[in-house]
């Protein structure tokens, strides 16, 4: 099963109630080629061998199945590492290619979602920020995010990252084919303008992934909202770092995934 039940808060019809939601799992997968780290990708656990094989094919590491001499996970009960051994002929043909790649990241056999969170938490202090925003206004701005996306309106193919101040006034809005790129651009604009300290809320047109929470934490943005649900690793990391996560419920309302204290109920 690649989902995990988590307790959350639902704000709907002007009241809050607790419920349990299935959250999609997200963990890193380290792919090693010829015994050397090649890439770390974030993915939903399952079908690791097929994932690594497809990755090697689409990356151009192999052209045919027989060029993979061996492909296996580490000999542990829970592993997030796949090792790929190439045939001598294929290895001789791409040695220079492998040497030029620059994806190397966290790549130990103990790599797991817990390890990633521990390392990030050690690097980033938990968020201590008493910013609060009105639930009604937050939902309204999130559901109208497409009004800030001219590129999406013309292409229907871009993601947006919109950063707001404590009053939900937009500070920086960027679009990109990649959601991570959009957030980097939005943060970067404020960073260059020396206005990053004003950033209190980021709204994403995408799901909330681990990397997006990490970037928000680095920028010290305490509230992250997305049009799609967070992954388990993103939720775990946000919980540990004191970041509030939220997203739209259907047909109205907001799911408050963690640290709901920053969202004010009407009349309070």
Q: Whats the size of the chain, residue-wise?
A: 268
Backbone φ and ψ of 208, nearest 5°: -100, 110
Catalytic residues: 109
Centroid of chain to Cα 72: 27
Would you state the structure tokens that stand for residue 76, as one six-digit string?
């542990």
For residues 237 and 120, the answer to whether their CB atoms sit within 8 Å is yes
Listing DSSP states for the chain in one string gives --EEEEEEEEEETTEEEEEEEEEE--EEEEEEETTEEEEEEEE-SS-HHHHHHHHHHHTTS-SSGGGEEEEEE-SSSS--EEEEEE-HHHHHHHHHHHHH--------TT--HHHHHHHHHHHSPPP-----EEHHHHHHHHHTGGGG-HHHHHHS--EEEEEE-TT--EEEEEEESSHHHHHHHHHHHHHHTT-GGG--EEEESS-B-HHHHHHHHHTT--EEEESSPBBHHHHHHHHHHT-EEEEE-SSS-EEEEE-GGGEEPTT-
């Amino acid at each position: 099963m690649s989902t995990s039940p988590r307790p959350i808060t639902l704000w709907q019809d002007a009241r809050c109630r607790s419920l349990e939601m299935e959250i999609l799992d997200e963990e890193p997968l380290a792919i090693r080629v010829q015994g050397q780290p090649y890439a770390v990708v974030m993915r939903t656990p399952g079908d690791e061998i097929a994932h690594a094989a497809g990755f090697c094919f689409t990356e151009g590491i192999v052209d045919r199945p027989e060029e993979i001499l061996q492909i296996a996970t580490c000999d542990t009960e829970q592993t997030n590492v796949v090792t790929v051994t190439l045939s001598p002929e294929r290895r001789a043909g791409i040695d220079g290619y492998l040497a030029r790649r620059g994806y190397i990241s966290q790549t130990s056999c103990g790599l797991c979602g817990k390890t990633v969170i521990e390392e990030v938490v050690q690097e980033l202090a938990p968020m201590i920020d008493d910013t609060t925003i009105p639930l009604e206004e937050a939902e309204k701005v999130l559901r109208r995010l497409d009004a800030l996306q001219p590129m999406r309106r013309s292409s229907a193919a871009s993601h947006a990252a919109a950063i707001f101040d404590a009053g939900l006034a937009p500070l920086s809005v960027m679009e990109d084919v990649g959601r991570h790129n959009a957030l980097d651009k939005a943060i970067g604009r404020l960073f260059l303008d020396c206005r990053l300290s004003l950033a209190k809320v980021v709204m994403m047109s995408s799901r909330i992934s681990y990397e997006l929470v990490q970037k928000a934490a680095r920028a010290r943005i305490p509230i992250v909202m997305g049009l799609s649900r967070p992954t388990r690793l993103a939720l775990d990391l946000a919980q540990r770092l004191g970041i509030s996560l939220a997203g739209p419920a259907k047909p109205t309302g907001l799911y408050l995934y963690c640290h709901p204290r920053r969202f004010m109920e009407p009349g309070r």
